[in-house]
Structure 1
Amino acid sequence: MYWIKNIFILFFLFILGFFVYKFNNINFFHDYFHIEKYSNINLEKSSNTFDTKNIVMVKTDTFKILIDKNTGNIVEANLLKYKKNINESDPLCLLKSKNDFLYQANIGILGLEKHNFYYDKKYNKKNLFELTENNNNLLVNMKWKSNDGISYIKTFSFERGKHFIKIKYEIINNSRKKLDISMYGNLNQTINIEKENKNYIFGMKTFRGAAYSSNKEKYSKVNFYDIKEKNYISDYSNQNKWIAMVQPYFVSAWIPDNSLKNKMFIDKINFRDVSIGYITEKFKINSYEKKDFFSKLWLGPKIKKEMLEVSDSLYFTIDYGFLWFLSQPLFELLCYLHSFLKNWGISIIAITCIIKLIMYPISKIQYYQIAKMKEIQSEINIIKEKYKDNKNILNKEIINLYRKNNINPIGSFLPLIIQMPIFLSLYYVIIESVELRHSPFILWINDLSDKDPFFILPIFMGITTFFLQQYSQDSDINEGLHKKIINIMPLFFTIFFLWFPSGLVLYYIVSNILTIIQQKIVYNKFKI
């Protein structure tokens, strides 16, 4: 029954294999989405540079946004409630236009001979718009008027405390010709991550790439490198609900007017930049008619309650992976505990205690099985000595001894199998829930979503793992290679956990301590 003795080795290999798998298979493209080969759409191309003299700055309590006067597109968006790094005061810059990195949100018209517009000084002379304390709304208007009488008015509407922007288009056709146009919105981003953010170990961050929702698929992900190889456009029967660029903790998304027919496109802009967007069906605007179009742009954290205000499915970008059905209730429980404990670290300790308490009836079976095996170890040793030259008889005698004492070796392994999904689910919660981003615990732990800066928790975790395995292992493991492997496992665990989020390491430490206590209670009944 050596496989029972190797439970720590199996657990380690399982975790290692999982993260290697995640590293090599981070994203998938869903082929069941109805697509046809994409033919080039003549959209306005994004630029990594813009004229700083032709910029409108917008400041609210949540945003600091730069809008290009020439195109009316957002070229930079800062989230004022979130820091770029925990030790810096600079806000997180979500959208940006740098020489080596592009991330922009564009929206415009297809079908006009000239759909670019400029900021008409006669219409509004301001270059700075700020949300004052006395107002909950802020409107930013931009206008272009052609020589033949077509007026194009673009209005950005900001609300206090909100991470979405409402955008309205008014197209007034005072010309003598009919207009045949479509509206589009797209998100462009550089494939390779910025140098300053290349600190991911073992693929330990969640999905980064493009995503979309339609009336057929609530949430589908597209790998950046899949876009680099192929371009696609959907048909109108697969109605697009939103398109997005997803990264850990934050997301940008266009939510078009879903009362209209629109389709999604995925495009490779150049060798390093990709795009995902939507295009509405074509509309005719007769002479002296007016047409309004509406859309919303989400720029912010992955917070379910807030995202439900703009779409019933955008919160699916909070991607907990294949164990979402465990991660979601764990996160809800963690939030409930935090509502009165006011510390995410203490909440993790509390949820660990609750999990161990709930699982105790199952874990107790494991402890009893191990205790009984320890109790009959002397009899097992006699059988091994007696039948050491005949393995078939040896195994039969040991099995008979187990049956005589009502021992089921599988019972000692079952709780470990159950705990693995919980461990991985909590991992997803910590690295995907923005609420835990930059959340402090005590003393030197100022970010539970990041590694321990001094590696104290992983070392302590290795110590608790050592004592736990010494307390749990069979008494016949006292010599040879097997003992050396068992004894060195805590060191492997410590090294492996050095770059894990400190919140997850904290969970593992508390779980080990509680396991030792529970085992001690059970073993005392057997006087072991």
Structure 2
Amino acid sequence: MESQRIFILVGLMLVSVLLYQEWQSMYGPQPVQTVASETVSSDAPATSDDVPQASHSAQSAVPSVNATSGSIITVESDVLRLKIDLAGGDIVETQLLAYPVEQGGDEPIQILHRNSHFEYIAQSGLIGNDGPDSKGRPSYQADGDSFVMNGDTLVVNLKHVTEAGITVVKRLTLTAGSYTVQQDIEVINTSSQNLVMQPFMQLKQTMEGESGSMMMPTYRGPAYSTEDERYSKYTFDDLSDKALNKTTQGGWVAMLQHYFVSAWVPAAASSNQLYTNNVRGSGIVGMKGEQLVIAAGETKSVTASFYAGPKDQETLSALSPTLNLTVDYGFLWWLAQPLHWLLTLVQGLVVNWGLAIIVVTIIIKTLLYPLTKKQYTSMARMKVLQPKMKALQERYAEDKQKLQQAMMEMYKKEKVNPLGGCLPLLLQMPIFIALYWVLLESVELRHAGFMLWITDLSVKDPYFVLPILMGASMFLMQKLSPTTVADPMQQKIMMLMPVFMTFLFVTFPSGLVLYWVVSNLISIAQQLMINRAIEAKKAAE
């Protein structure tokens, strides 16, 4: 099949799917919108059915007791502000102080939050025979209602004393410049009996809400890591169909969204059971740790890290070797990660993410020039053979088998590969798809300016200049490309393709469109060079 026909088929499939998705987003059923600016509801229920059942060896029959929300305290570092519900000691809101909702604004973005119609919280506690969370969420006490970091660290102790006189301390440690909260749950057994408990950590989020689309295919939902699965998404649909149940050493559980992630990361040497649950329209992903046996008069503690912040790969890798995979580059992650490294390296030199995109695109197109040259040279040679191909089609119009044999003999005689113009393109596509995902997923581009009217590379061009330039450059590329398409209908479709793509690209982040514009302009320059070389060679023959 001619390479132009392949382009048409692929392009039509892409356009059809994207147009359908856009129609759905405009006229289809709309998701419930989250309102992050609402205050935390003080009477939102925190029921014990949120809490997982303990493993068999640590479990006894306990009543299901409901507990209403308690007092809310605020804990603040230089980059992170938490709101904690003293009923259960749950983290019910996280504000990232260095990441405003709007560029240049003062209101920080909220990752976790809870209001009357949306809930996204982090929970933890102790279940089992003697675990206080198995009998309803325990009420913790704090030394105040507001804690602000004054130095390099901030330690906040939440204390709960059971009816049996057992003391449980949930200790939260925040560090300057870090979005990681270290949590230590300490049990002081002052009784005369041994205690059996099991720690749990989970993330709970309302399943209905905003998510990605075909135009911006970003993921919102649970993910996890085990010894055998370095990174796996477990969508809300998966969660509703079947509960996750895996045992692993170490691992982590997370909730993902565009640019940001929250995660529970236990000690790497600990044994954990990963699980999911569906409670009243909210999806839960969590993990239960090893059973704790606290002897009479003994004190034991269990440690885990909670992260709520940007998808910064270096930070995430330091917390867990696989947590950086939450920067989801899809199946081409192995290629996208080096491209992200290159983009970051170049940005450090040019100090502008827009210029970095241009430089990286130039580097990639230069490295791939031999393939590009082979592609257009092959297409030009196929165009020269077009009259002979047409003659063969007329001669063997009634015999398709002989036509195929005659064409293959002609290709062999002329030393032309009919797929020569397509194979180099297929080899280049993984690189450009990987770079597309790098630009889409990199939190560094959020609110990053370029120049002139492009003040934020993560949002669409407000004046649609870049999409128009992209469409115009794509049209010029088609004019310059040697074509063997003779069918008038196919020619019209090819000419309409830039128009379709222009309308689709108006909603894309300007950083992505900038990449395509620069790539097209370089391709045009390369085509002019190749075409002139081909013409000069013909003139010399």
- What's the TM-score, normalizing by structure 2? 0.83
CA distance in structure 1 between the aligned counterparts of 2:530 and 2:270, rounded to whole angstroms: 65
Counterpart for residue 31 of structure 1: none
Q: Could you say if the C-alpha distance between residues 234 and 5 of structure 1 is closer, same or farther in structure 2, counting changes exceeding 3 Å?
A: closer
Cα 1:386/1:46, change in 2 over 3 Å: farther
Fraction of identical pairs, as percent: 36
Counterpart in the other structure of 2:57: none
Q: Which amino acid aligns with 1:360?
A: Y
Which amino acid in 2 is paired with 1:359? L
Which residue is 2:421 aligned to?
412
- 1:516 paired with 2:528, answer no
Structure 2 counterpart of 1:35: none
Aligned residue runs from structure 1 range 406-485, under 5 A: 406-474=415-483, 477=486, 480-485=488-493
Query: 1:256-271 maps to which residues of 2 (within 5 A)?
Result: 256-270=266-280
Give the corresponding residue for 2:217: 205
Q: What is the 5 A alignment of 1:65-464?
A: 65-86=82-103, 88-110=105-127, 111-112=129-130, 114-115=132-133, 116-120=137-141, 124=143, 126-132=144-150, 135-146=151-162, 148-193=164-209, 197=210, 200-202=212-214, 204-235=216-247, 238-270=248-280, 272-375=281-384, 401-464=410-473
Mapped to 2, the partners of 1:389 and 1:321 lie a distance apart of 47
Worse overlay, 11-20 or 431-440: 11-20
SS in 2 for 1:411: coil
Deviation at 1:411, TM superposition (A): 1.2
C-alpha displacement of 1:79: 0.9
Write the distance in 2 (CA, Å) between the matches of 1:46 and 1:15: 51
Is 2:96–2:309's contact at 8 Å kept on the other side of the alignment?
Answer: yes
Distance 2:314 2:66 in 1: 32
How far apart are the structure 2 equivalents of 1:391 and 1:263?
A: 62
State whether residues 175 and 288 of structure 1, in contact with CA within 8 Å, keep that contact through their aligned partners in structure 2: yes
* 8 Å contact from structure 1 (residues 180, 284) kept in 2: yes
Letter of the structure 2 residue corresponding to residue 10 of structure 1: L
Once the two structures are superposed, residues 363-415 of structure 1 have per-residue CA deviations (whole angstroms, 9 ceiling, x without a partner) of 11122223334455566667677877887777666655544443322111122
Question: C-alpha displacement at 1:204, in angstroms?
Answer: 2.2
Q: Is the 8 A contact 2:380 2:482 kept in 1?
A: no
Q: Aligned in 2, Cα 1:140/1:158: closer, same or farther, shift over 3 Å?
A: same
After TM superposition, the structure 1 stretch with the greater mean CA deviation from structure 2, 241-250 or 376-385, is 376-385
Superposed CA offset, 1:463-515 (max 9, x none): 111111111142774x7323222221211221232222322222222222111
User: What is the number of equivalent residue pairs in this alignment?
Assistant: 498
**What runs of 5+ residues in structure 2 fail to find an aligned partner?**
25-50, 55-61, 537-541
Instruction: Mark the CA change 1:506 to 1:46 in structure 2 (over 3 Å): closer, same or farther.
Output: farther
Q: 1:527 to 1:40 in 2, by over 3 A?
A: same
Check 1:309–1:519 CA distance in 2 against 1; reply closer, same or farther (3 A cut).
closer
> For residues 56 and 408 of structure 1, do their structure 2 counterparts lie closer, same or farther at Cα, with a shift above 3 Å needed?
same
Give the 3-state SS of the residue equivalent to 1:412 in structure 2: coil
CA distance in 1, matches of 2:215, 2:483: 35
Q: 1:527 to 1:216 in 2, by over 3 A?
A: closer
> What's the TM-score, normalizing by structure 1?
0.85
Residues 102 and 190, structure 1, Cα contact 8 Å, conserved in 2: yes
1:497 maps onto 2:536 in alignment = no
Taking structure 1 as reference, are residues 406 and 179 closer, same or farther at Cα in structure 2, changes over 3 Å only? Answer: same
Cα RMSD (Å): 3.1
* 2:539 maps to 1:527: no
- Comparing 148-157 with 459-468, which one deviates more in the overlay? 148-157
- TM-aligned CA deviation for residue 340 of structure 1: 0.5
Bigger mean CA deviation after superposition, 110-119 or 284-293:
110-119
- Match of 2:506, SS state, is helix
User: Does the Cα contact within 8 Å between 1:46 and 1:188 map onto a contact in 2?
Assistant: no
**2-side partners of 1:43 and 1:160: how far apart?**
42
SS at match of 1:162: coil
Alignment check: 8 A CA contact 1:12 1:493 kept: no
CA shift, 1:222, in A, is: 0.7
- What displacement does 1:452 show? 2.3
Which secondary structure state, in structure 1, belongs to the residue aligned with residue 203 of structure 2? strand
Higher RCO (CA 8 Å, separation ≥ 6 residues): 1
Q: What is the deviation of 1:301?
A: 1.3
**Cα shift at 1:263:** 1.1
- Look up the equivalent residue of 1:131 and give its one-letter code: M
Q: Tell me the SS of whatever aligns to 2:123.
A: strand
